[in-house]
Amino acid sequence: MKSTFRLLIFIALPLIAALLAGAVSSHTPNTFRDLNKNGKMDVYEDASQPVEARVNDLLSQMNLEEKAGMMFINGVFINDDGTLERKPDAKGFAARLPPASDYIEGRKMNHFNYWQTPGTRAMAEGYNAMQKMAENTRLGIPVTIASDPRNYFSNNIFAMAAGSFSQWPEQLGFAAIGDEKLTRTFADMARQEYVAVGIREALHPMADLATEPRWARVSGTFGEDAKLSAQMIKAYILGFQGEQLGSQSVACMTKHFSGGGPQKEGLDPHFEFQKGQVYPGKNFNYHLIPFEAAFEVHTASIMPYYGVPTDQTSENVGFSYNKDIITKMLREKYKYDGVVCTDWGLVTDAPLGPGVVWPARAWGVEALSRAERVQKIIEAGCDQFGGENSPELVIQLVREGKVSEARIDQSIRRLLRQKFVLGLFENPYVDVEKALQTVGKPEFIKAGEVAQRRSITLLKNDKKTLPLKTGKLKIYVKNVDAKVAAQYGEVVDNPKNADIAILRLNTPWYPVQTQNPIAKGFHHGDLDFKGVEKDSILQLLNTVPTVVDIYLDRPAVIPEISAKARALTANYGASDAALLDVIFGKFKPEGKLPFELPSSMEAVRKQKEDLPYDSEKPLYRFGFGLSL
């Protein structure tokens, strides 16, 4: 009997010791992921541990190469069949970007963004393949995937193709509606679609103010009014992140601190022909208001812009290079301790073809070497380099004693904290079948279509032309799908035979003279129609009563068109069906202009880039919109 008792004690002692030591927890061996493959549950692998304890534990195990890799985020591709290797017949981004294995295994990177993407199934499968690749690295640190907006009905260069995702108006459209509840609902639905395919970081919203009407990025803003923008920013971030960042959140990277709107003559600092923002109205602080709203709801990340805040700080250098902006203002004044990531391409020149180079946006520090640029950005207070994949430069700086590893650790803590809070260490994978059920869910599609209709702004309705009567009119359409229009009336080929014409236009733009093909695609330049194009529009308006609709990705200058149009509407991303539903009275427009429409280009040139609603005698004022 004594020997049996001793045997029981002998068997039980290891279990008792393990319990006392905390080696056995509520997690069974199958409920934690042994990411560093050491056969035990480390603190960073234990979901029951506080986030800071997990961050400390993982940080203590990371080597310099792994830390450096985490500080870079760049584009990655997924093939149409969900695979990750580059194929011989690859096209587009898949032909130009390194494969995921080069980033993850070779450069120790684990933050990526999507540009070109395949269908939902392939996107989910490719994402899971990336996470499996990351799990097989030394410490198994999961990947964070980011994306620019994917849910807008837009052909704008800054909006990613929606594909199977629900399609809504652009940010301007939500500002036009002015409904915070709708904005939050949109963001929540988009969040669900993002999470379903593994996108856990939104490179949006834009908190910039559209005080300079010629700026090429007006369409990404909530307009020129700081108060309205602040209200929309809060709702937007709460929809994506929730009241608190968590395992079902998408982390928002609000941009572009401290406000990218007041660009000189509207030219964008993506390019060397415009490197500085100007403040002739001494209105720098006005542009901070939407960002202050973002801080109130704890935006997870912040992105500064490219340009130089001319004569606003102690040195005229770009925002991400600017210690006065990042450390003194963002970190110290606003006490912001989230991730700060530069905009894309501040360090490395990009060859675009024979004899064409897109220079790094190192405005104000062009003479610095690539390593010196990285050093200055880190010293300014940034944590991560967007659109770059050069961790060797960080390693070099640390080994040369120019940047301390302790300073690198500050940034790594912020980046790790976000991954832990998002729940990526517990389960980074997605359910492919659930993704197929979630992305483009009918109720999401319907909600987006309704929002497109609500956002349309009625500017003129002479002789109560609208709403038109369905089925009783002969319609001439231009830039409208005739098959869609045929559901509303008889479509004719000659405007002289029509009772009414429906004409859709886009805000004019004129490419900058440059060899850079990307710069040529930006909507720069004057806002008015000219020459033959203008004459052809006015000829139609003189021939038949015409309903004109214009897509406002920037404020258009259209006094003659407005005068001759029988009715005039504006949209911020809306389908032909959405527009026709409004024109024919199936849906009431609710939009109010989120910016002024100037009366002339002369008035535009007289405006001060940093001031809202300062156009002389505008054609239509901020907030204008009729109802039916």
Q: Cite the active site residues.
A: 343
Question: What residues contact residue 605 under an 8 Å CB cut-off, 6+ apart?
Answer: none
Cross-strand pairs, 341: 384
Indicate the SS3 state at residue 266: helix
Residue with tokens 């929809």: 239
What is the rounded distance in angstroms from the CA atom of residue 360 to the CA atom of residue 269? 11
DSSP sequence for 119-164 = -HHHHHHHHHHHHHHHHTSSS-PPPEEEES--SB----TTSPP-TT
Read off the tokens for 546. 């015409």
User: Using CB atoms within 10 A of its CB, is residue 351 exposed (0-12), middle (13-18) or buried (19+)?
Assistant: exposed
Q: What distance in Å separates the CA atoms of residue 293 and residue 232, rounded to the nearest whole number?
A: 9
Q: Is the peptide bond before 280 cis (omega within 30 degrees of 0)?
A: no
- Residue listed under structure tokens 């102690």: 314
Q: How far is CA 558 from the centre of its chain?
A: 30
503 φ/ψ angles, rounded to the nearest 5 degrees? -120, 125
User: How buried is 624 (Cβ within 10 angstroms: 0-12 exposed, 13-18 middle, 19+ buried)?
Assistant: middle
Contact 118, 164 (CB under 8 A): no
Instruction: Work out the end-to-end distance of the chain between its first and last CA atoms, rounded to an integer number of angstroms.
Output: 95
Cα separation, 416 vs 57, whole angstroms: 11
**Dihedral pair phi/psi, residue 56, rounded to 5°:** -60, -45
Task: Using the CB atoms, write b or e for 206-220: b if 16+ within 10 Å.
Answer: bbbbbbbbbbbbbbb
C-beta separation of 572 from 176 below 8 A: yes
